[in-house]
Chains A and B, each alone.
Chain A
Amino acid sequence: MSAMKQKVGLTIGLVLILLWCLLPVAWIISLSFKSQTAITNGSEGFLPQAGGGAGWQNYSDVLQDEQFRRAILNSIGISLIATLLSVVIATLAAYAIARLEFRGKKFVLTTALVIAMFPVVSLVGPLFDMWRTLGIYDTWPGLIIPYMSFTLPLAIWTLSAFFREIPWEMEQAAQVDGATSWQAFRKVIVPLAAPGVFTAAILTFFFAWNDFVFGISLTSTETARPIPAALSFFVGPDPFSRPASLLAAGAVVATIPIVVIVLLFQRKIVAGLTSGAVKG
């Protein structure tokens, strides 16, 4: 009886969570299929009305837009490079923090904490000024460097928490069993650490992909402008005539990489969580 009640409650909760997560996504997808004329005339309601649909027109318009394509490429390139570099550097630091005893460990963790709290906008002015002097204003490195710096705290924390759970004695045990230290590291530690590294990489990528403040402040042309900034400029100066359905199509395209990553890495995270090796 009570179990039955719990199951009903959980199902309702589950439906509510799914609605919460997916309703706005469904809405923007619906919007992206509405025609420009329907939008201009005012198209209330959730779904495109009869005759108000645009098919794939908005998508083909958006994808043929040179600036939009450029922005997507910028975002992919900049985010991937920043993620890769940040995760490598964070892995080194997190390994040291989790496994080694050294002076300055507290300093690293405090610095990371302060930077995680840092109001990004505070840095925009000085960076704007510095980057222009250094000649990396409006370039890929000009965004990659701040992204790395701001994703490092998150990556270091995620990873060091993860590394602390790894039974490092297993490495020695493998060595006792006759493995070389490289073999022991590769066959025992790497498989245990990989899911944590993937998790840190996803979070880092999300941050870089999501960034807006640096994107609008440290770029001025399409050479480096990432997709969130491009979307906001897509609007034009007049907020009352925003090309809503076109913008929605652009937003959907910009969201696809995130959804793909969530779907792809989800298994890895779940596998990492359920492998049991850490606890066993």
Chain B
Amino acid sequence: MTTSTVQTATAKKPRSTPKTPDSDRAKAENALGRKLVAPAIVLMLVVTAFPMIRALYLSLFDYSLTDPDERSFVGLQNYVTALTDSLFWRDTANTVMVMVVTVAVELVIGFAFAMVMHRVIFARGLIRTSILIPYGIITVVSGFAWQFAFSADNGFVNGWLPFVGADFDWFGEYGSSIVAIMVSEIWKTTPFMSLLLLAGLAQVSEDMIEAAKVDGATWFQRLYKVILPNMRAAIMVAVLFRALDAYRIFDNIYVMTAGANGTESISFLTYRQVIEQFQLGIGSALSVLLFLSVLVVAFLIVKVFRVDLSSARQEG
């Protein structure tokens, strides 16, 4: 740990002092660097920044594709409509709930998986191959698999769970529908979480864990005082990525309930307005709101985690 920090620090040092006037070499490097990243940056901006600006523009109009000639400027009216509609808030609350629950469950299970994968010496190839399968499977397929599994007519879940009746209809009401959706989401993405955490675990120095052991730290103490603080960055990245991904939840809901029983997510609402109802004006406003809410979520996670983890570090 100490050696690696020293190494990166010294390796970075000469590079992070570009105060001296640019040499020819530095200029050439500058030009080459820009040339090499140009295709990537252009492509990314053409497909995201430009359409987003267009969405921002379209969101100011009352604009329906079924009636394109009737397009009229309405200012912020679409935003007012969206933000005063209880549907928007219900779907947002639903999305946040799904995000918090799935990420929390995935973090715990994913960490357990990562611990096993980190320690296991036999069957490494088998386990790595297996863990890549849920990650690779099409979300739509996993949605179908779980929908059929939860089905009262053709599924196995009711038969395996002792506390539900054999003919319990999982998709009959909000609570059980959303549970089924979250199970599908958690199943598919926990492996991704565990792979990210496994990479983080590999960064934790065995020497430090060993030293803590010699000092008499229990397993839990080693976990909380040595392993977790040293995995801070990996955990944060994993949570941030998964949370934002979960916030965009769409496929599972589309396949499993199509938004029935109030299981609609904010992405689903936006999709419905734009693609199914061709309401480009209000749909664009929803697109912008969706994007802004993702930024808020990202900001909050980054904030919360910094605070949380730096305090955890101080006590350690």
Q: Which of A34, A156, A228 is the one whose CB lies under 8 Å from B40? A: A156
Docked pose: A112 CA to B284 CA in angstroms: 23
Segment of B79-87, B143-151, B221-229 in the binding face:
B143-151
Docked pose: A34 CA to B166 CA in angstroms: 20
Any A CB within 8 A of the CB of B132: yes
Q: Are B154 and A44 in contact (CB under 8 A)?
A: yes
Any B CB within 8 A of the CB of A194: no
Interface residues of chain B: helix, strand, loop or mixed (majority): helix
Residues of chain A lying within 8 A (CB to CB) of residue B251: 212-213, 228
Q: Are A119 and B290 in contact (CB under 8 A)?
A: yes
Any B CB within 8 A of the CB of A190: no
Any A CB within 8 A of the CB of B288: yes
Least distance between B16 CB and chain A CB atoms (Å):
9
Any B CB within 8 A of the CB of A186: no
Any B CB within 8 A of the CB of A192: no
Residues of chain B lying within 8 A (CB to CB) of residue A227: 138
* Range for the number of chain A residues in contact with chain B: 35 or more
Q: Are A121 and B250 in contact (CB under 8 A)?
A: yes
How many A-B contacts are there with CB distance less than 8 Å?
292
Least distance between B43 CB and chain A CB atoms (Å):
5
Residues of chain A lying within 8 A (CB to CB) of residue B151: 244
Residues of chain B lying within 8 A (CB to CB) of residue A34: 154
- Given A255-B138, A270-B124, 19 other A-B contacts at CB below 8 A? A17-B117, A17-B131, A22-B130, A24-B134, A25-B133, A92-B39, A96-B33, A100-B30, A100-B33, A100-B36, A101-B30, A105-B37, A119-B248, A123-B48, A129-B58, A145-B43, A148-B47, A213-B251, A266-B132
Any B CB within 8 A of the CB of A115: yes
Any A CB within 8 A of the CB of B52: yes
Q: Are B119 and A123 in contact (CB under 8 A)?
A: no
Interface residues of chain A: helix, strand, loop or mixed (majority): helix
Mark contacts of A5-29 with chain B using CB atoms, 8 A cut-off: 1 yes-contact digit, 0 otherwise: 0100010011011101110110110
**Can you name the residue of chain B whose Cβ is closest to the Cβ of A132?**
B65
Any B CB within 8 A of the CB of A248: yes
Give A contacts to B, CB under 8 Å: 6, 10, 13-14, 16-18, 20-22, 24-25, 27-28, 31, 34, 39, 42-46, 89-90, 92-93, 95-97, 100-105, 107-108, 111-112, 114-130, 145-146, 148-150, 152-153, 156, 206, 209-210, 212-213, 216-217, 227-228, 231-232, 239, 244, 247-248, 251, 254-255, 258-259, 261-263, 266-267, 269-270
Q: Are B191 and A102 in contact (CB under 8 A)?
A: no
A-B CB contact pairs (8 Å), 22 listed: A10-B119, A20-B187, A21-B191, A28-B141, A28-B144, A101-B29, A102-B32, A104-B33, A107-B41, A111-B41, A119-B267, A121-B270, A121-B287, A145-B47, A228-B139, A228-B251, A231-B138, A232-B254, A239-B258, A244-B148, A270-B125, A270-B128
**Can you name the residue of chain A whose Cβ is closest to the Cβ of B260?**
A239
Segment of B96-104, B155-163, B173-181, B308-316 in the binding face:
B155-163
Given A102-B32, A213-B271, A117-B244 contact (CB < 8 Å): yes
Docked pose: A123 CA to B36 CA in angstroms: 26
Q: Number of B interface residues, CB 8 Å?
A: 95
Docked pose: A213 CA to B130 CA in angstroms: 26
Any A CB within 8 A of the CB of B90: no
**Can you name the residue of chain A whose Cβ is closest to the Cβ of B133?**
A21
Q: Are A258 and B55 in contact (CB under 8 A)?
A: no
Any A CB within 8 A of the CB of B305: no
Any A CB within 8 A of the CB of B129: yes
Docked pose: A116 CA to B137 CA in angstroms: 20
Q: Which of A90, A126, A266 is the one whose CB lies under 8 Å from B58? A: A126
Given A24-B187, A92-B39, A96-B32, A146-B113 contact (CB < 8 Å): no
Residues of chain A lying within 8 A (CB to CB) of residue B201: none
